[in-house]
């Protein structure tokens, strides 16, 4: 039977189950990716598992998020991560090498392979014809230990591309158009697979832009074929030997499909404060800006900076505009320097920042209050930039640069600043693999001690939930609440990523400043519950957003719907996620209500419905759980780590 690229990748890695939509499957994982904001927990989990050696073909630990070294905490964690890589058999990418996703694509991505990463934008690797998923760190730890990755088989949507980008329009506008069509939940339960003659005009890094931000649509992942564009990219990075062609068979069937005509696209912008709040640039043109920001994992390619450099050559950015340039990798920074583009950017007034995630995750470069910041980053959730009253707009490099030159939001097609053609250098990249530290042989690795600074705390024990529990609702959250709002990122909070008791003090800080106090008070009476709207926990994969509230006594979240990764993270730390059957959780429960669930293991075993009592209002509320048999086992073990311990003895 003719197969899509997605089904070919699934079939080649299937360990358990049948690849039918909604059925549980387990996939063998070839590669893993961790970054420093989530990797410290992964390494502590590997220590708790007493892992001897990584069982994957390749696992890489990147340092790209927590690069600010204001005191000992971040550099101490870098030392810890290096020691853990040497101990457990991972490759260590040192600070300054760049953002995990584009660097992984440059150095290690291979068509036909699976990748599991403790970062929600891991699906960016689909640009090379990989099957890549973002997940909680503990699931990545299990994959490193050789366990398969379990998930419901997604449906596959064909995105058929026709035509060619017009001048001033690029890959960011394509993915923003898809966000305009589908919103931030439209991809839930789907893989978006791209094909069609329009692919010929998308480079491998253009595809990276689209696959990266497929996460913002809610997609399980995004998949491109491995074709001529893939081969060109691998050759330019000295890895032509890693190319394998991978295409959908003629006549392959999909669960749904749509057409995007590239010629008809125009510059798009996502307004505050959601990637799904999309309109055309023309609709908001003329509004004054204070910042234009290039870079991040969402627009990390050489071309994204080179086109900006050509646009500003011989010009200066407008007075009062901060033009921030964040090269995504050391290799790209070297190439921009070699080809003269960096000098053009600096001469125009650009501010050059180190290669890393930086302002995208709130690590510096925060915008002024209530002033427009145009950014090529993937997200604009409230306060993620580091400024609570921010006004972050998501745009393409062309729109950001054209606007920086004029000082107002500008359609890049106006005037003649966008180059009509931009040829990419064919000069191969330098061989600088020495900057990636390979682990020693297993016999040497066993002698290596983990180096733990004073801010690295052993993971807290999480006991299994009681079969019957009654807890107080201490918080109600709005629809589309993000993990950035549940557990903030930024320079103040993320240095405590390996200290759960401390980082828990910041939970829901910007939603309810009294949450932590109320949660601790509720601990004396069995813990607490949270009530949420639709798409609860969208955004980052950081498991701290589940683990920190669990540390404070969270037992159950009742919501109208959950984002995929956060739902799994709740389960992985022993928190029961329930969907209100009538989609009105906030009407069924309020702050101060007492919520009771009797014999939850028995109810889960009996079917998909769970009866939840609102003791305060004397009301019975029907919920759905949607848990697989494996997820029920994990919950009964108090989380994935307890399940693994029980399994291995």
pLDDT digits (tens, 9 = 90+) for 171-189: 999 999 999 999 999 999 9
Which residue has 């889960």 as its token pair?
604
pLDDT at 66: 84
Terminal Cα distance for the chain, rounded: 43
What is the architecture of the domain spanning 469-648? Alpha-Beta Barrel (3.20)
Is residue 420 classed exposed, middle or buried when 0-12, 13-18 and 19+ CB atoms within 10 A define those classes?
Answer: exposed
Cα dihedral across residues 78, 83, 85, 88: positive or negative: negative
Domain ranges of the chain: 5-262, 275-406, 469-648
CA distance linking residue 542 with residue 122, whole number of Å: 12
Asked whether the bond before 290 is cis by omega within 30 degrees of 0, the reply is: no
Q: SS3 for 328?
A: coil
CB atoms within 10 A of CB 530: 29
What are φ and ψ of residue 377, in 5° steps?
Answer: -75, 170
Structure token digits, residue 637: 């073990």
Threshold 0.85, pTM exceeds: yes
Q: 33-53 burial string, b = 16+ CB within 10 Å, else e?
A: bbbbbbbbbbbbbbbbbebeb
Answer yes or no: are the C-beta atoms of 324 and 294 closer than 8 Å: yes
**What is the SS3 string spanning 149-186?**
EEEECCEEEEEEEECCCCCCCCHHHHHHHHHHHHCCCC
Of the candidates 244, 207, 241, 239, the one whose C-alpha atom is nearest the C-alpha of residue 224 is 207
pLDDT at 222: 98
Strand order in the sheet with 155-162: 221-223, 190-195, 155-162, 256-261
pLDDT at 374: 98
CA distances from 450 to 43, 155, 279, 399 (A): 9, 42, 50, 46
Dihedral through CA 391, CA 392, CA 395, CA 399, nearest 10?
A: 50
pLDDT, one tens digit per residue, over 518-527 is 999 999 899 9
CA distance linking residue 129 with residue 271, whole number of Å: 31
Which residue has 């995990």 as its token pair?
100
Domains 275-406 and 469-648 share a fold: no
Q: SS3 for 92?
A: strand
Using left for φ > 0, alpha for ψ between -120 and 50, and beta otherwise, residue 215 falls in: alpha
CA distances from 17 to 14, 21, 136, 152, 520 (A): 8, 11, 22, 10, 42
Asked if CATH classification 3.30.499.10 holds for the domain at 275-406, the reply, yes or no, is yes
pLDDT at 426: 61
CA distances from 482 to 93, 160, 489, 576 (A): 28, 30, 11, 18
CA distance linking residue 481 with residue 580, whole number of Å: 17
pLDDT at 323: 98
CA distances from 555 to 59, 105, 336, 460 (A): 33, 39, 51, 16
CA distance linking residue 131 with residue 5, whole number of Å: 9
Of the candidates 610, 646, 612, the one whose C-alpha atom is nearest the C-alpha of residue 627 is 610
The Cβ-side half-sphere exposure at 298, using a 13 Å CA radius, reads 28
What CATH fold (topology level) applies to the domain 5-262? Answer: Aconitase; domain 3 (3.30.499)
pLDDT at 429: 65
Query: What residues contact 305, with CB distance under 8 A and at least 6 apart?
Result: 294, 295, 325, 327, 332, 336, 341, 345, 397
Structure token digits, residue 446: 């066993």
CB atoms within 10 A of CB 136: 30
pLDDT at 20: 96
pLDDT, one tens digit per residue, over 448-482 is 999 999 888 888 778 888 999 999 999 999 999 99
Query: What residues contact 272, with CB distance under 8 A and at least 6 apart?
Result: 380, 382, 390, 391, 392, 393
pLDDT at 425: 67
pLDDT at 490: 83
Collect the ranges in the chain with pLDDT lower than 50: none
pLDDT at 649: 63
Answer yes or no: are the C-beta atoms of 234 and 243 closer than 8 Å: yes
CA distance linking residue 339 with residue 425, whole number of Å: 8
Structure token digits, residue 78: 């870098």
Share of the chain above pLDDT 70, in %: 98
């Amino acid at each position: 039977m003719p197969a899509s690229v997605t089904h070919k990748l699934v079939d080649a890695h299937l360990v358990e189950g049948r690849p039918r939509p909604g059925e549980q499957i387990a996939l063998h994982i070839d590669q893993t990716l961790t970054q420093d904001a989530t990797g410290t927990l992964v390494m502590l989990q590997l220590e708790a598992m007493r892992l001897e050696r990584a069982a994957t073909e390749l696992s890489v630990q990147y340092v790209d998020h927590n690069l600010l070294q204001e005191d000992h905490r971040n550099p101490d964690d870098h030392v810890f991560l290096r020691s853990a890589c040497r101990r457990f058999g991972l490759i260590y990418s040192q600070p300054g090498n760049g953002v995990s996703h584009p660097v992984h694509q440059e150095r290690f991505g291979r068509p036909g392979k699976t990748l599991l990463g403790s970062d929600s934008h891991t699906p960016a690797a689909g640009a090379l014809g990989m099957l890549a998923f973002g997940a909680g760190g503990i699931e990545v730890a299990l994959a490193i230990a050789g366990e398969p990755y379990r998930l419901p088989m997604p449906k596959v949507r064909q995105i058929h591309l026709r035509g060619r980008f017009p001048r001033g329009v690029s890959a960011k506008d394509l993915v923003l158009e898809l966000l305009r069509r589908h919103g931030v939940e439209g991809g839930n339960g789907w893989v978006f697979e791209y094909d069609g003659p329009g692919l010929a005009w998308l480079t491998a890094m253009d595809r990276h832009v689209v696959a990266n931000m497929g996460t913002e649509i809610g997609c399980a992942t995004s998949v491109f074929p491995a074709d001529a564009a893939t081969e060109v990219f691998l050759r330019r990075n000295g890895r032509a030997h890693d190319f394998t062609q991978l295409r959908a068979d003629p006549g392959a069937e999909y669960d749904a499909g749509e057409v995007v005509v590239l010629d008809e696209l125009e510059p798009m912008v996502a307004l505050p404060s959601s990637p799904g709040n999309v309109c055309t640039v023309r609709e908001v043109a003329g509004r004054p800006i204070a910042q234009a920001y290039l870079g991040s994992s969402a627009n990390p390619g050489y071309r994204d900076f080179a086109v900006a450099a050509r646009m500003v050559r011989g010009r200066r950015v407008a007075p009062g505009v901060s033009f921030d340039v964040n090269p995504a990798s050391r290799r790209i920074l070297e190439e921009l320097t070699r080809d003269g583009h960096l000098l053009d950017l600096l001469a125009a007034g650009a501010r050059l920042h180190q290669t890393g995630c930086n302002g995208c995750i709130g690590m510096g470069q925060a915008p002024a209050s209530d002033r427009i910041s145009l950014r090529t980053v993937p997200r604009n959730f409230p306060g993620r930039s580091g400024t609570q009253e921010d006004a972050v707009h998501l745009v393409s490099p062309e729109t950001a640069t054209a606007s920086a030159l004029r000082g107002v939001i500008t359609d890049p097609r106006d005037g003649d600043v966008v180059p009509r053609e931009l040829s990419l250098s064919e000069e191969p990249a330098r061989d600088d693999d020495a900057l990636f530290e390979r682990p020693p042989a297993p016999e040497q690795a066993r002698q290596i001690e983990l180096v733990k600074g004073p801010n690295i705390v052993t993971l807290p024990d999480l006991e299994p939930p009681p079969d019957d529990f009654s807890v107080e609702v201490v918080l109600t959250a709005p629809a589309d609440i993000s993990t950035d709002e549940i557990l903030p990122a930024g320079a103040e909070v993320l240095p405590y990523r390996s200290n759960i008791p401390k980082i828990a003090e910041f939970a829901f800080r910007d939603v309810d400043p009294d949450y932590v106090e109320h949660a601790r008070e509720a601990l004396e009476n069995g813990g607490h519950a949270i009530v949420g709207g639709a798409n609860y926990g969208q955004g980052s994969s950081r498991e701290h957003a589940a683990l920190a509230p669990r540390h404070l006594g969270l037992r159950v979240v009742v919501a109208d719907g959950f984002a995929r990764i956060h739902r799994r993270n709740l389960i992985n730390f022993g928190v029961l996620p329930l969907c209100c059957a009538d989609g009105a959780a906030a009407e069924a429960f309020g702050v101060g209500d007492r919520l009771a669930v009797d014999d939850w293991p028995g109810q889960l075993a009996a079917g998909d419905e769970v009866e939840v009592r609102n003791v305060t209002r004397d009301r019975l509320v029907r919920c759905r759980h949607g848990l697989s048999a494996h997820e029920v086992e994990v919950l009964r073990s108090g989380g994935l780590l307890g399940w693994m311990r029980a399994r291995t003895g």
